[in-house]
Amino acid sequence: MRGNDPLIEVLERNHELILQQRVLGIGEINSPQLMKLLVGTTSAVVVTDNYVTATALAAVMGQRLGHSCFEVASYKHLKVIFAAASDPRLSAEIGPIERVLVFVTKTKSLNQHMLFALQGQFHADQHPAKVTLIGSNDSGGKSADRLVKDVATVYKHDSARKCTVFDGSFNHYDHGVGLRDCKQPQPVTVNGLTLAQEPGLFSQGELDGGTALLLQALADLPPEQLRGQVLDLGCGSGVLGLSLAAKGAAHVCCTDISATALYATTHNAQAHNLNVTTLACDMLPSAELLAAAQLEPKFKLIVTNPPFHQGIARSLQETQAMIAAAPQYLSSDGALYLVGNTCLNYGANLREAFAHVTELIATPKFTVYQAQP
């Protein structure tokens, strides 16, 4: 996480907006320095979908999080929650709020869905909550006020560091009712499984082309490759892991950095009576985490469609590090199945880390690789 995040610096120069109030913080938080600014509040709850963000914020308080799709850490009047907006447990952790602090994301549906889910808390002592929206201009900060259109009166309060601050009050709705939800994505049907989607997940309401090719490559897996542990790395709504569980894989572990992804995977597994383990972590789970989850340290199969939508440079580095470490997580007869945009040339990284690399499917847009130690 960044230590000198412009959004946090802009909030610091507008620190008076949040002092001595009951504050709820949501959105794209990129610096643990936020917790120091919240010390001056009456109480503060920060909700994030990102596990790396959540663990960094909790660490500032000297706390550690578990690895489920719903985790809470608190110290004195501060609380950090790692959760999906749709999780019904979330509202119970948040009392009446005097100010909502929104860090605007490029994917505004995430902000909108969270605001909609928690709007019942946006009042205190019968008074509507105030709202502050902060966003970088290249991520929609200049139009952040549209998130609360028709339910709040907000004005441009500040502009600095290529960021915009709006401030105002939820004064056009009645006791927490009035915000609209974002458009809900349609379920995806894969190999006879109907899998519900959540706002903000990759490839909304449809099966991503790369994932479809990877499923095609996995269709002819011999039964013995499903007898050992399977890791669905970056599981999203569980398309790959649940498909393999439905094919007979007995031990499937689904990991993701997103609480929304883990929540969707868990509920999709329950809907189809499939038994999988879900773990919150950034890329490959540590040996300690696998042991704590009572899983073996080696996998027979790792399947992944690694993301790069967070920025090509950052995501390529993470995927390249994962590829380099992956052989240590595979049994001697195991295999990594990876799909990526052909232009990213993951084949070069795979050939550096693995003894045997095969291009199973190659199109101008996507390539599916099989890599074996």
Q: Are 162 and 142 in contact (CB under 8 A)?
A: no
**pLDDT tens per residue, range 250-282:** 899 999 999 999 999 999 999 999 999 999 999
Structure tokens at 320: 């390249």
Q: Does the pLDDT of residue 79 top 50, yes or no?
A: yes
The pairs formed by 181-184 with CB atoms below 8 angstroms and a separation of 24 or more are 181/112, 181/113, 181/116, 182/108, 182/109, 182/112, 182/113, 182/116, 183/109
Q: How far apart are CA 362 and CA 360, in angstroms?
A: 7
CA distance linking residue 183 with residue 176, whole number of Å: 20
Give the sign of the dihedral formed by CA 6, CA 7, CA 10, CA 16: negative
CA 242 to each of CA 151, 207, 280: distance values in angstroms, whole numbers, following the listed order: 40, 14, 17
Query: Residue holding tokens 């009572």?
Result: 294
pLDDT at 311: 41
* pLDDT of res. 280: 98
Is 70 exceeded by the pLDDT of residue 176? no
Query: Which pLDDT score, from 0 to 100, does residue 173 have?
Result: 66
Contacts of 326 (CB under 8 A, 6+ apart): 284, 302, 336, 353, 354, 371
Share of the chain above pLDDT 70, in %: 95
Q: Tell me the residue length of the chain.
A: 373
- C-alpha of 211 from chain center: 18
Distance CA 300, CA 224 (A): 9
| DSSP per-residue letters across 115-180 | HHHHGGGSEETTEEPEEEEEEEGGGTGGGGGGGGTTT-EEEEEEEETTEEEEEEE--SSSSS--PP
Start-to-end C-alpha separation, the chain = 33
All domains of the chain, ordered by start, with CATH? Answer: 6-169 (3.40.50.150), 188-372 (3.40.50.150)
Residue 1 pLDDT class (50, 70, 90 cuts):
low
Distances (CA, A) of 63 to 34, 44, 107, 157: 15, 16, 29, 34
- Give the whole-angstrom CA distance, residue 96 versus residue 128: 10
Contact 359, 321 (CB under 8 A): no
pLDDT more than 90, % of the chain: 80
pLDDT at 226 over 80: yes
- Which pLDDT does position 313 carry in this prediction? 43
Residue 74, token pair as written in the block: 């608190």
Measure the CA–CA gap between 117 and 219, rounded to whole angstroms: 38
pLDDT tens-digit series, residues 131-156: 999 999 998 899 999 999 889 999 99
Higher pLDDT, 2 or 258: 258
Name the DSSP letter for residue 16: G
| pTM of model > 0.85 | yes
Give dist(CA 72, CA 275) in Å, integer.
25
Lowest mean pLDDT among 172-186, 249-263, 306-320: 306-320
Question: Three-state SS across 40-77?
Answer: HCCEEEEEECEHHHHHHHHHHCCCCCCCCCCEEEEECC
